[in-house]
Every structure is written in C-alpha cells, then in structure tokens.
Amino acid sequence: MAKIKISDLAKIKERVTEQTNLREGGAQIKVTVHMGTCGIASGARNVLKALMEELDKSGRKDIIVTTSGCVGLCSQEPIVTVERIGEEPIKYVFVDDPKMRQIFNQHALEGSVQSQWALAKGSEQ
Amino acid sequence: MKRFRQHLLICGGTGCHAAGSLQVRKALEAEIKNQGLAEEVAVVETGCNGFCAMGPVMVVYPEGIFYVSLEEKDIPELVEEHLLKGRPVERLMYKEPASKEVIPDMLDIPFFAHQQLIALRNRGLLDAENIDEYIARDGYRALAKALTEMSPQDIVEEVKKSGLRGRGGGGFPTGLKWQFCQGTPGEHKYVLCNADEGDPGAFMDRSILEADPHSVLEGMTIAAKAIGANEGYIYCRAEYPLAVQRLEHAIVQAKEYGLLGKNILDTGFDFDLHVYQGAGAFVCGEETALMRSIEGKRGMPRPRPPFPAVKGLYDKPTVLNNVETWANVAPIILKGGDWYASIGTEGSKGTKVFALTGHVNNIGLVEVPMGTSLRTIIYDIGGGMPKKHRKFKAVQLGGPSGGCVPEQYLDLPCDYEEIIKAGAIMGSGGMIVMDDSTCMVDMARFFMEFVQDESCGKCTPCREGTRRMLQVLERICDGEGKAGDIELLEELAGMIKESALCGLGQTGPNPVLSTLRYFRDEYEAHIFDKKCPARTCVNLIEFRVDEDLCKKCGLCSKACPVGAITWEKKQPAVIDLDKCIKCKTCIDTCKFDAIV
C-alpha cells in the first residue's frame, strides 16, 4: 500500500462506499456478524462459520459478508445485521448456527424477514 | 444429469414429519405423475429448515416461493395452479409475518432511542480491521484538518471550547491538560492512551478498541500535533487480547497509509505509536504507575506534582488520556467545540459511555448525553429489573473508587458534579444495578477485597489500612461483628482517604462510606441482630422456612440439590439442617422470601 495524500481520503471514501453499499448491478445483499468479545463469547464464530457455509452453497457472488464490533446490546448476542438493496437493515438477536442458516436462506436470499428472531429494523445512524 | 425446470424442497425434519410432511410428499409425487410433470419437476426432501412452527413447509425453486402448513388436500390445487399453470397459490404461501409492523424501528426501541453516539459513533457499522471502512465514515478527516488548517494552539482551543473532560474517571478538563503540556518546553514529548480498564463490571474501553481502534489512533495523533510530540504508547491490559490484536493491526494499516510514522499525510509531521501490554495490575491504571510500567519498572505510583504534563514518561512532558476521551477528539475537531459543548449539562459537556450490568434486562454498552437521569438509563434503556418480584435497591457507579446510589436519587442527572453530591463518582462508566437480593455489606466487602488485593503496597495507609478494613467487613459478614465496628470502619476510611499516596487508596474506602451513608441499618442488622436482610451472608441465615410466608408450593424442595427439604401437598416445607449445605438454591428459588 502506498502512502496516501489528503485528497486520497475522499477517494477511499468513494471507493469503499461504492464497494460496501448495496446498489443495482453490484452487491445486492450484505450480512454483518457483530464480533466483539461479547459476540464471540456467545458464539459469533460458529454463526459466521454457518453463514460462510451457506454462502458457499448458494454460489452467489453479489453478497457481502463482513464482521463488525459490538452494537451495545451485549446481553442479546450473537447479533447479525442483514441488509438487502432497497430494504431496511434488520438486526437479529440470539443468533445460532441453524438460525443463521435459515436467516441467510429465507431473508438474505429470499427476502422473507424472519421476524420471530428480529430485534429491529433500521440503523443507529 | 437430468435437468428439472422446478425443484420442490419439502422439509423432512422431525417437526414437519410430525406435522404430516410424509403424506404431503406422497400426495405431491402422485399428483405430479398424474399431471405428467414427473420429468420436469423434482421433489427433494430436505433437513429441518428451522421453521417447524409452520410445518410442513416447502420451498419451490427457481421462484423461491415458500409454502407453509401444507395439507394433503391442498396438493392437487398447488400442482395444477403453480407447477402446471405457473400461478403460485397465494393462500398457501408464507404470509409476510405482519413483519413490517411487528418489527420495530431501531430508534423506536428504548434501548437505542435514548442513546446519542459520539465515542461509539461507528459501533457495529464498520469492519474494525479495515482502515478503508473507517475512512469511509469520515475517519482521518479530522486529522487532515488538524494538520493542515489548524495551529497547535487552535487545536487546544477547540478542545477547551468543547468542555471535554477526562473520561477515565478523574474528569480533568482535557484541553487544559493539553495546554499545560504544550506550554512545557522539551524536545521529546509523549502522548499516552490509558487502556488499562480494570474496574469490575466495566467494558467501555475494550468495546471501543475492538470496534473502532482507528478513532483512538486519530485522537492521539491530533493531540501529538497539538503538544508537539512524536511518539506515543497505548497501554492496554493483556487480558484484552482482541483489543490488542485489532490495535496492532490498525497501527500497521495506518503506517502503510502514512497516517502514522514519518511525514504524515505529506505535512512533514512525524508521530509513531506503540502498543504496550500491561500485566493486569489494577494500580497501573493510575497515571504515574502506568508510566513506570511502560519504563519497564514496577508499576507503582509516585507523588504528584510534578504532573505528567511537566514530568511524565521518561521524565518528559506527557499527555495521558483514557480510550473514551481519545475517541471523542476527532468529532470535536471535525464538528467544532461549540457543537460538542451544546450537548450535556453546564459543567459536563458531551456524552458518556456506561457499561450497564448487574440486575438489569439489557446488559450492554450505552452512550447518553451528560445529564441523562439514572432512571432513564436503568429503566428505559436498561429495561428495568429482570426478576419481577425483586425491587431496585441501588446502583454502583465508579467501581472500587465509587459508591452506590439508592432509589431516592434515581432522578439524578448523570454528570460529574451531581453524582459526587450523591456520594459516588462518575468514574470510568461502570454501572452495576442491584436489586433487593444484594447485601450492601457484602458488596462493600467485595470492593474492599478488590482494593486490598490490588494495593501496590508502596504506602502504609493503603497497604495496611485497606487490609484492616477488609478484616472488619469480613467479621461483620461472618456474623462476628462487634459494637464499635462501624465507627472503626469510618475512622480507618477517613485516615486512608487523607493519607494514601494515589487515587486507588484515596478512593478505596468510598464503597464502604457510601453504603454506610445509605444502608447503615443493614450494617447494624448484621452486627446487632445477627441478620442479613438480603439473605446473602450465609452465617447469618437460619435456613428455616417461615410458615406464615410459605405458600406450600414445594418449589424449594424440588430445587434442593441434596434433598434436605421435605414437602407434602398443602404442607409448609421443612429444611433438615443436618443435610443442608447452605448453598442458597432454595432462597433463589422461593418467590415469597419464605426461607429466613
């Protein structure tokens, strides 16, 4: 990686926004597993593993799987956020391996929100 | 391989089997054959898809239509309409579970609605190990502004204007601290980050470091420019491996981008940063002990003055701030000190992160504007007590240096001054909620044990005094308290507060003093009545069933692990004290507080 200049900050922002935001013709779906210590302690690694397996099975290339930190609600970890293009992000709580597989197949792929496990829609900012 | 135009995935899990998926499958296969579709449509039995409540369930690909609660009699219609004519049968489809209404908006949930995020602004929104994602959320823009558009004096003025105070607990105005260091002449200066978070029940700093390490790096680099430092350390406890790993990763990435190291952003400014792992001594969170520890010496405090701004690490002028303080710096530079100062109360500006834990439903990390009431934090954000038959008793603020705040102060606005008036301190943000099953003497004993264990031993008042206080508290909890013990505790506490060398000792007696202030009757019950009203201290519990309170439900008898409780229908339970191992399972189980 080369050293960046101040003008590069804006370029990186643009590039990342392009890559990580959902858009027509690019990524359609983004799944975030929240992996702070609290999430990992309550099983987020297994959730991520299940998610990667289901992603492999689906063969889809337009899905972003990413990790992030604690969202603050440590008592309801593991927490997973599913975003589909044009739809509000949904946060799921107390996710485990089978729930993750179902959430991926039913919601991420098919668009059917698994409201029985959903905490909320939208995001904090 | 034969290609089918449609795949029917019918669930063959136990739940769906029990609901009749086998019959449905047979009916499907028969009907498909009947309609002459056997060459075009495949029926596949799958494992449980988890939605057993709606079984038997089936997914039809490629459309991905999800059918639920199928019955044999639905099959002819389904096959004819959907498979033959291509018209999915709506009445059998999974109804969007009124989802759009049922799932609340995140900001309608009280836990999130009352929070305002500055230090935690990026939580859950970015990949902590990818610097580009931090930059995409306006990361390092504040640094660029500080390096190119602001003089060191401007930076200090902006931080002073914001009213930001040290979030580690002391509450010293951050801008002023920087100004002192800026004004101290010296070629070598240091910028340090205190990430030696050690209060029981506190995890604010860990969470920030794990979720958003670059926010700390950026804040520190801005301060380095302001005071003229070229080197810094993050002192992080080794018990936070994930935080250490993400910090080190973040530093490598920032160096590759030229956001740390030589000639940052081509502006000619140099700043290098290292992570130093502490071995887990609580006292190393004290600033002078922390610096000793980085120097490779035994982590013990030294008297102040001289303050670190004059003589700090390696006797060079040094600025040390806590993780949360650093995370607030970039937004202040970017949005201005006036913006930050518009949030909060007269004397305490901005927001504060609290680690909410204990007897509360929503255990987690909350960031609220200064001045938010304890009631809002505990009841609206925290969701109140988890056990319905238990009442709120007190909330412990500020860890071993703090105190507890009882119910009558729940409407207290949380800021530095108001919390001190109530007998506790803001501290670093640990907030432990306790219901009426908590014994306040035992709680004080716990914190005293912690302080005594963590006392470095350098000064006599802390080393010997906290040990004596602990002995008295243990005596009281064991049922051997004597008249005069309370006065002895108060006398010792006063002496330690006045004469201990550092903050650890000076504040160590606080949990005892604040529980004495609000729950003196509980101490007296232990000493004179030989009773523990909260039924925590084992030696002060009779383990006898109060027949008037007993509702004869028998739950205690079922819960007892050693079979010491006998119970017959419509009879009060009886505890056999010869068998009883005093594990208190019965006390936890009984909803009527009938075991005394």
DSSP 8-state secondary structure symbol assigned to residue A121 = E
The model's pLDDT over B426-480, given as tens digits with 9 standing for 90+, comes to 989 999 999 999 999 999 999 999 999 999 999 999 999 999 999 999 999 999 9
pLDDT value at residue B100: 45
Give the position of tokens 């109804």. B95
pLDDT value at residue B248: 97
> Other C-beta atoms within 10 Å of B242: how many?
16
pLDDT value at residue B194: 96
B118 CB within 8 Å of a chain A CB: no
Spatial distance between the Cα atoms of B434 and B441, rounded to a whole number of angstroms: 13
Peptide bond into B306 cis (omega under 30): yes
- What Cα–Cα distance (Å) separates residue B475 from each residue in B323, B403, B468, B521, B567? 39, 21, 11, 17, 35
Residue B281 sits at φ, ψ, to 5 deg, of -85, 130
Nearest to A120 among B106, B120, B258 (CB): B106
Nearest CA to CA, how far is B138 from chain A (Å)? 7
The model's pLDDT over B356-378, given as tens digits with 9 standing for 90+, comes to 999 999 998 999 999 999 999 99
B150 CB within 8 Å of a chain A CB: no
**Residue A125's pLDDT band (boundaries 50, 70, 90)?**
low
Verify whether the Cβ–Cβ distance B258 to A3 is below 8 Å.
Answer: yes
The model's pLDDT over B161-177, given as tens digits with 9 standing for 90+, comes to 999 999 998 899 999 99
pLDDT value at residue B482: 95
> Chain B partners of A116 at a C-beta cutoff of 8 Å?
97
pLDDT exceeds 60 at position B397: yes
Element housing B446 (H / E): helix B440-454
Spatial distance between the Cα atoms of B405 and B410, rounded to a whole number of angstroms: 8
Least confident of A83-87, B60-64, B177-181: B60-64
Spatial distance between the Cα atoms of B50 and B46, rounded to a whole number of angstroms: 11
Of B244, B172, B170, whose CA–CA distance to B206 is shortest? Answer: B244
Q: Are B135 and B330 in contact (CB under 8 A)?
A: no
> Chain B partners of A75 at a C-beta cutoff of 8 Å?
361-364
Spatial distance between the Cα atoms of A47 and A35, rounded to a whole number of angstroms: 10
Could you write out the DSSP letters of every residue in A2-40?
----HHHHHHHHHHHHHHHS--TTS--EEEEEE-SHHHH
Average pLDDT over residues A38-56: 94
> Chain B partners of A37 at a C-beta cutoff of 8 Å?
203, 206-207, 210, 240, 242
pLDDT exceeds 50 at position B98: no
Residues 420-449 of B with CB under 8 A from A: none
pLDDT value at residue B99: 43
pLDDT exceeds 60 at position B67: yes
Nearest CA to CA, how far is B186 from chain A (Å)? 29
pLDDT value at residue B214: 97
Which of left, alpha, beta for B570 (phi over 0: left; psi -120 to 50: alpha)?
left
The model's pLDDT over B305-314, given as tens digits with 9 standing for 90+, comes to 999 999 999 9
pLDDT value at residue B3: 74
Residues 189-208 of B with CB under 8 A from A: 203, 206-207
pLDDT value at residue B548: 92
pLDDT value at residue B455: 95
pLDDT exceeds 80 at position A124: no
**Residue B413's pLDDT band (boundaries 50, 70, 90)?**
very high
The model's pLDDT over A61-104, given as tens digits with 9 standing for 90+, comes to 889 999 998 888 999 999 999 999 888 899 999 999 999 999 99
Of the residues B96, B102, B253, B265, the best mutation for testing chain A's interface (the one with the most A CB atoms within 10 Å of its CB) is B265
Nearest to A69 among B103, B210, B366 (CB): B210
Spatial distance between the Cα atoms of B476 and B513, rounded to a whole number of angstroms: 15
Spatial distance between the Cα atoms of A67 and B183, rounded to a whole number of angstroms: 43
Angle subtended at Cα B295 by Cα B294 and Cα B300, rounded to the nearest 5 degrees: 80
Exposed / middle / buried, residue B594 (Cβ in 10 Å: 0-12, 13-18, 19+): buried
The model's pLDDT over B315-350, given as tens digits with 9 standing for 90+, comes to 999 999 999 999 999 999 999 999 999 999 999 999
Of B232, B325, B319, B329, whose CA–CA distance to B275 is shortest? Answer: B232
Give the position of tokens 């940052």. B264
pLDDT exceeds 80 at position B558: yes
Do β-strands B231-237 and B269-278 pair in parallel, antiparallel, or remain unpaired?
parallel
Mean pLDDT, chain B, whole residue set? 92
Spatial distance between the Cα atoms of B367 and B112, rounded to a whole number of angstroms: 9
Of B328, B325, B243, whose CA–CA distance to B277 is shortest? Answer: B243
Tokens of B473: 């508290």
SS3 of residue B322 by DSSP: strand
Verify whether the Cβ–Cβ distance B111 to A124 is below 8 Å.
Answer: no
DSSP 8-state secondary structure symbol assigned to residue B232 = E
Do β-strands A118-121 and A90-92 pair in parallel, antiparallel, or remain unpaired?
antiparallel
> Other C-beta atoms within 10 Å of B90: how many?
9
**Residue B48's pLDDT band (boundaries 50, 70, 90)?**
low
Nearest to B136 among A16, A70, A71 (CB): A16
3-state DSSP helix/strand/coil percent for chain B, to nearest 5? 45, 15, 40
Spatial distance between the Cα atoms of B207 and B355, rounded to a whole number of angstroms: 10
pLDDT value at residue B483: 95
Verify whether the Cβ–Cβ distance B210 to A70 is below 8 Å.
Answer: yes
Q: Are B233 and B196 in contact (CB under 8 A)?
A: no
Nearest CA to CA, how far is B10 from chain A (Å)? 14
Least confident of B5-14, B410-419, B452-461, B508-517: B5-14
pLDDT exceeds 70 at position B574: yes
Q: Are B91 and A31 in contact (CB under 8 A)?
A: no
Exposed / middle / buried, residue B303 (Cβ in 10 Å: 0-12, 13-18, 19+): exposed
Give the position of tokens 């002028």. B317
Query: Rounded to two decimals, what is the model's pTM?
Result: 0.81
Verify whether the Cβ–Cβ distance A115 to B102 is below 8 Å.
Answer: yes
Amino acid at site B171: G
Say whether the ipTM exceeds 0.85: no
Q: How far is CA B22 from the centre of its chain?
A: 48
Tokens of B546: 């109060």
pLDDT exceeds 70 at position B102: no
B144 CB within 8 Å of a chain A CB: yes
Of B447, B517, B454, whose CA–CA distance to B477 is shortest? Answer: B447
Could you write out the DSSP letters of every residue in B550-565?
-----HHHHH-TT--E
